[in-house]
């Protein structure tokens, strides 16, 4: 499985984008105003001590550690991680985050049983 994060709006409040799974729209995303560097990162699932559930974890992110994909609605809910949900424009937020997260994680889990999963982050479009 290959995930691609496309960024489309960035302000001093945060960065909105969308996540594509094998060429198909999956959900919206929200990152901090200073987002994760563009690049391609391996993903694993790990038991998050903060969220008490398995979350996708990005590996080998330059200058960052413990970058997760997790539930949240506003930039206050992330300290550098990627939030998933439905985009809420013009606000810099996502909603229905739990629904998006609960749909995404089983797909990643199933894909990891067959082959590696990566997330490619493309620069702002």
Q: How many domains does the chain have?
A: 1
The domain of 83 spans 2-121
Q: Which two tokens mark 123?
A: 């620069």
Dihedral (CA of 74, 80, 85, 86) sign = positive
| Residue scoring higher pLDDT (92 or 95) | 95
Whether the pTM exceeds 0.85: the reply is yes
What pLDDT digit, counting tens, does each position of 63-84 carry?
999 999 999 999 999 889 999 9
The pLDDT value given to residue 27: 97
Q: Distance between CA atoms of 64 and 11, rounded to whole angstroms?
A: 21
| Residue scoring higher pLDDT (59 or 8) | 59
Mean pLDDT of the chain: 93
Residue 10's pLDDT band (cuts 50, 70, 90): confident
Spatial CB neighbours of 102, under 8 Å, sequence gap ≥ 6: none
The pLDDT value given to residue 125: 59
| Residue scoring higher pLDDT (80 or 43) | 43
């Amino acid at each position: 499985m290959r995930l691609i994060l496309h960024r489309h709006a960035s302000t001093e409040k945060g960065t909105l984008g969308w996540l594509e799974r094998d060429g198909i729209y999956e959900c919206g995303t929200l990152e901090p105003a200073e987002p994760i560097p563009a690049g391609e990162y391996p993903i694993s699932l790990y038991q998050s001590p903060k969220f008490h559930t398995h979350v996708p974890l990005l590996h080998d992110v330059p200058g960052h550690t413990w970058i997760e994909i997790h539930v949240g609605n506003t930039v206050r809910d992330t300290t550098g991680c990627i939030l998933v949900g439905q985009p809420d424009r013009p606000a810099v937020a996502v909603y229905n985050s739990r629904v998006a997260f609960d749909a995404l994680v089983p797909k990643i889990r199933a894909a990891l049983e067959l082959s590696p999963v990566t997330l490619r982050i493309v620069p702002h479009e």
